[in-house]
Amino acid sequence: MPVWCGRTIGRWIRVMKFPLAVPEIGEREIDAVVAVLRTPNLSLGPQLASFEKQFAETCGTRHAVAVSCGTAGLHLLVRSLAIGKGDEVITTPFSFVASTNCILYEGAKPVFVDIDPDTWNIDTAKIEPAVTDRTRAILPVDVFGVPADYEQIGDIAARRHLAVIEDSCEALGSTYRRLPAGSLGDAGVFGFYPNKQITTGEGGMVVTDSDELAASCRSLRNQGRDVDTGWLDHPRLGFNYRLSDVNCALGLAQLNRLEEIVKWRSRVSAFYREILAGEPRLSVQQAGDDVSVSWFVQVVRLSDEYDAADRDRILVSLRERGVGCSNYFVPIHLQKYMTEGFRYERGDFPICESVADRTIALPFHRGLTRDDVAEIVKTLCGLL
């Protein structure tokens, strides 16, 4: 049963027996942050440069540009590629809204195509038929850490002269054909929210081999300044998308533990897959043999005999039993602002909708043992 403790504004706070996510913060991270606080360099200092350098090395790219969040990184890439009003970007409706919002911020139009029923990534067979003379880019998402099919995406992009913006916000540590996620398009973006593989509290990173894209993102994140101009000189309109040295110090400490973190996440994911094997009412996301996955979350899908109402009932019951859980995702095209602005409706992308109606994210963090996972799965199966 859940434990109740603490109180805020007259309400008791429920502490889950099995929380959905727990950030991987240890003494090294705390010491790194405190060390920065003892210096005068809280922003645009040495920790920023070190974090970017080490991150680029991790991803095998020439450049890494730290930003305030993954959403900011995606936005800067859309702006840097001069994608704007009248342009189109092909993307997936099965994602967090940021992968679409970054297109809308610049007045361009997101063009959705449906997803693969097994990998839950964008269906590459449906991309080229969606290309028009207004298409400027493809923005695939590495859903839950599983890289999209970049061989097919790259072939289409080359034939049709399109940019590829890789949303790897959930995929740090994953590889596609032994190449790191984020390095597979013209540029990639990672997010560092507390439930990601590594966290900086809030933060993100753009990675690219393009000198031009990197320079543009560095300027745009810092109010449009150039590296060789004064603090009050702004050659272009920019944004305050900087990441402080405090955040970067935390990120560096986390990045030094990435291999360990990915290993433990893989171990917990293996527990789930072993225990769920043979359960016909539940399935898990699939990944190809050419992919190594650094899992972001552990999501199961209910079989077709269940619907969204069943799923929502199960979510409530799991929480009542102390099991943290969530649905992942609400299809982007069915968000209110998308149905009102673009007239999307249910049935437009049926595979995405069918998957989204039946997904349940289960507790996923380092502290889970095999016995814990067995108890979580048993609790879930008892509600089916």
Phi/psi class of residue 158: alpha, beta or left (left: φ > 0; alpha: ψ in -120 to 50)? alpha
pLDDT band at residue 98 under the 50/70/90 scheme: very high
**Chain CA centroid to CA 34, Å:** 28
* Residue 203 reports pLDDT greater than 80: yes
- Mean pLDDT calculated for residue range 215-233: 94
Residue 188: pLDDT over 70: yes
Alpha helices in 64-203 (DSSP H): 70-80, 98-104, 150-160
Q: Which residues pair with 18 in a beta bridge?
A: 323
What tokens appear for 275 in the block?
Answer: 């225990």
Is a pLDDT exceeding 70 seen at residue 7? no
State how far the Cα of 372 lies from the Cα of 366, in Å rounded to an integer: 11
- 55 has pLDDT over 70: yes
Q: Can you say whether residue 266 is alpha, beta or left, with left for phi > 0 and alpha for psi between -120 and 50 degrees? A: alpha
**Where do the domains of the chain lie?**
3-17+258-381, 27-255
pTM of the prediction?
Answer: 0.95
Residue 3 has pLDDT above 70, yes or no: no
* Residue 13's pLDDT band (cuts 50, 70, 90): very low
**pLDDT at residue 4 in the model:** 40
Q: What is the pLDDT of residues 132-182, one digit of tens each?
A: 999 999 999 999 999 999 999 999 999 999 999 999 999 999 999 999 999
Residue 227 pLDDT: 85
Q: How, if at all, do strands 88-91 and 135-139 pair?
A: parallel
Top CATH class of 3-17+258-381 equals: alpha beta
**168: left (phi > 0), else alpha (psi -120 to 50), else beta?**
alpha
Per-residue CA distances from 359 to 115, 317, 347 (Å): 14, 15, 18
Q: How far apart are CA 280 and CA 301, in angstroms?
A: 11
Mean pLDDT, range 222-245, rounded to an integer = 95
- The CA distance from 128 to 286, in Å, is 23
Query: Tell me, what DSSP letter sits at residue 143?
Result: G
Gyration radius of the chain's alpha carbons? 21
Q: Six-digit token pair at 80?
A: 């840097």
Please report the pLDDT score of residue 14 as a whole number: 57
Which pLDDT belongs to residue 2?
A: 44
Mean pLDDT for the stretch of residues 253-278: 97
Catalogue the E-assigned strands of the chain.
3-8, 11-15, 63-67, 88-91, 109-112, 135-139, 163-167, 175-176, 179-180, 187-191, 204-208, 282-284, 291-292, 298-302, 359-362
CATH no. of 27-255: 3.40.640.10
Give the rounded distance of the alpha carbon of 128 from its chain centre: 24
Residues 264-284, mean pLDDT to the nearest whole number: 97
The two three-digit tokens of residue 237, written as one number: 């309109």
**By C-alpha distance, which of 192, 173, 183, 194 is closest to 269?**
173
**pLDDT tier, 229 (very low <50, low <70, confident <90, very high otherwise):** confident
